Structures are given as structure tokens and as C-alpha cells.
Amino acid sequence: MVMDSKDIALGIESLDTQHQELAALFDRFERCLKNEVPLTELQAVVKEAIAKANAHFEHEEALIAASHYPKAEEHQFLHRRMRTEFSTLVGGAVNFRANDPVSLRQLETMRAMLMEHIQGPDRELAAHLKAAGMH
């Protein structure tokens, strides 16, 4: 499942850019899982993905605070939950063999979680940010 840019576009430039970067990292991760790449290459992709995801969550949470988003605590909780779940899933996926069905399923689970978060809570947040004049 590739994430389509129109499905993840929210109309907030900084969020859209970061979501695109995260989607591209999922694509790179998938290529690593489908090909026999050195473990160091996979680990580098994972390290970059974790850093970008954390930076993205921190950016969103700064926007949440600046805009006085009424669902701030709920959204921050979702971020914490995603960090935990992604860490668990990534940990399992790095113990992989090329085209390992379990690792590929874990990747799809992570993609689905991210997509659900973007299309649900992030879309609500984007509407709030737009109403607050933050584009």
C-alpha cells in the first residue's frame, strides 16, 4: 500500500511536507525489506525514520500548543502510542529476511496506522489550524 500524496495532504504546508517525507521513508523501508540489503542500510533507514517521526510529532505538538487546540492531550497521547507501537513493530521488522511476510505485514500495519492518524486526528488538527489562521 503506497501512500498517495492527495490522501495525506491536509493543506498545512509544513505538515504536508513532513508527511510526504515519512511516506518516502516507508517506501525506502519497504525496498529494504524486499531486497537483500545490508543490515546497516536498513538500520540507517530506521534511524532516519524514527528521527523524522519524532521531529514531526514535536512540530505538531508545538502547533497544537500555539493554537490552543482543544484536543491537545488526546492528540499527544496518540503520538505517544504511535511511538511505542512503531518501536515495537520496527524492532521486529529489523530481524528480517528479504521478502519475509511477517516483516512486510508489520510494515503495512505501520503504514495503515500512519494513514489512519493523518486522515483522522491530523485532518481535524489541520482544520483547527486553518481556522486559527495557521497555514
Distances (CA, A) of 29 to 25, 36, 67, 72, 93: 6, 12, 34, 30, 10
User: What CATH architecture applies to the domain 5-131?
Assistant: Up-down Bundle (1.20)
DSSP at 11: S
Which residues, 6+ apart, have CB-to-CB distance to 69 below 8 Å? 63, 75, 125, 128, 129
What is the residue extent of each domain of the chain?
5-131
Which range has the worst mean pLDDT, 10-24, 27-41, 118-132? 27-41
Tell me how far apart the alpha carbons of residues 104 and 111 are, in angstroms, rounded to a whole number. 11
pLDDT band at 101 (very low <50, low <70, confident <90, very high): confident
Mean pLDDT computed over every residue of the chain: 87
C-alpha cell recorded at residue 59: 512540530
Question: What does the pLDDT read at residue 34?
Answer: 85
Question: What does the pLDDT read at residue 92?
Answer: 66
Angle at 57 between CA 117 and CA 13, to 5 degrees: 80
pLDDT band at 57 (very low <50, low <70, confident <90, very high): very high
Nearest to 111 by CA among 17, 18, 19: 19
- The arithmetic mean of pLDDT across residues 105-123, rounded, is 91
CB hemisphere CA count around 97 (13 angstroms): 3
Decide: pTM greater than 0.85. Answer: yes
Question: What does the pLDDT read at residue 5?
Answer: 64
> What does the pLDDT look like over 4-19, one tens digit per residue?
667 789 999 999 999 9
Tell me how far apart the alpha carbons of residues 55 and 58 are, in angstroms, rounded to a whole number. 5
Question: What does the pLDDT read at residue 120?
Answer: 95
